[in-house]
Amino acid sequence: MTDDLVIDVHDLHKSYGARKVVDGLTMAVRAGEICGFLGANGSGKTTTIRMLCGLVKPSGGGGTCLGLDIIRDAPRIRLQVGYMTQRFSFYEDLTVGENLDFVAAVYEIDNRHAAVKAIIDRMGLADRADQLAGQLSGGWKQRLALAACVLHKPKLLLLDEPTAGVDAKARREFWDLIHDMAADGLTVLVSTHYMDEAERCGRIVYLSDGKLVVQGTPDEVAKGSGLVTLAATGPNLDHVAKALRGMVGVESAAVFGSALHIAGMDRSALEAATRSVDPALVWREVPPGLEDVFIHMLSQT
């Protein structure tokens, strides 16, 4: 294993009976990196995360996590990893402070009181330390879950759709915390469906049906897609988008605020489609966004 690779797995497989959930996945994540893990529901993201931290045994393949074998050293890996699941999994009838104290006891952390106070302060939970966890909003529950995951100072943080169902402000604050911790050297693998979150990752990995489709920086993935994206502003964009959908060469047509974006692989076909609608619209080529790219990828699988 290369010294700076925190995750280094090769040809990972996981099947349940005849159903292949992960199919030949090879991926690596470097120390201090925030790696976005993307793909549709059922693409194998959660199963992969659970294999990495030793909760699920691969059907084939292998590799290392934190320099430890993901099969033989699973118990040791779990002690050094923070894993935040999709579902809030703490005691709703305990306060924020009591939940964190319980986690500190499980990990046998020295000077529990000081450790809990420090993480409460760092996560901005001081005003809610005595509030029952069940009374927290979705955003504050996620912040409590994140605090619990890093309380034992893990070297790797695995986040499975951590901001699903929380508002935009809470999502941004949550990601600011992730970047702050990455700046201190923590490595993060995070699955997400939000394209603005994917764009905040240093690198992204996209799965489809358990197979690796593409990986790289957000810019590399967008530029390497070969996708052509045209944009226009003007009146009646919703009607224009509806007319364009289904035309030859138009893979997607969507309105973003005051602009209409269309995307496809065939430049000539796209341009021909634009000439068939309102001639008052002025079209220009724009770089493809990640949302355009992933809609394209979904259409190919």
| DSSP per-residue letters across 114-127 | HHHHHHHHHTT-GG
Whole-model pTM above 0.85? Answer: yes
- pLDDT score at 153: 94
Whether the pLDDT of residue 126 is over 90: the answer is yes
> Of 225, 217, 218, 233, whose CA–CA distance to 264 is shortest?
225
Kindly tell me the burial class for residue 36, based on how many C-beta atoms sit within 10 Å of its own C-beta (0-12, 13-18, 19 or more).
Answer: buried
Q: Which residues of 97-118 are buried (b: 16+ CB within 10 A; e: fewer)?
A: bbbbbebbeeeebeebeebbee
Mean of the pLDDT values across residues 157-166? 90
How many independent structural domains does the chain possess? 2
What percentage of the chain carries pLDDT values higher than 90?
76
pLDDT digit string, tens, across residues 3-51: 689 999 999 999 999 999 999 999 999 999 999 999 888 899 999 999 9
Whether the pLDDT of residue 301 is over 80: the answer is no
Residue 99 and residue 212 in one domain: yes
pLDDT digit string, tens, across residues 138-150: 899 999 999 999 9
Q: Which residue has the higher pLDDT, 295 or 39?
A: 39
- pLDDT score at 39: 87
202, 222, 242 — which closes off a domain? 222
> Of 9, 77, 2, 1, whose CA–CA distance to 215 is shortest?
9
CB-CB contact of 188 with 155 (8 Å): no
Whether the pLDDT of residue 1 is over 70: the answer is no
Q: What does DSSP assign to residue 86?
A: S
- pLDDT score at 152: 95
164, 193, 222 — which closes off a domain? 222
> 202 lies in which domain range?
5-222
222, 239, 268 — which closes off a domain? 222
Does the CA dihedral 211-7-52-36 come out positive or negative? negative
The mean of the pLDDT values for the chain is: 92
The Cα–Cα gap between 75 and 220 comes to 36
Q: How far is CA 65 from the centre of its chain?
A: 18
Whether the pLDDT of residue 106 is over 50: the answer is yes
Residue 184 and residue 254 in one domain: no
Whether the pLDDT of residue 2 is over 90: the answer is no
| pLDDT tier for residue 300 given thresholds of 50, 70 and 90 | low
Q: What is the CATH number of the domain that holds 255?
A: 3.30.70.100
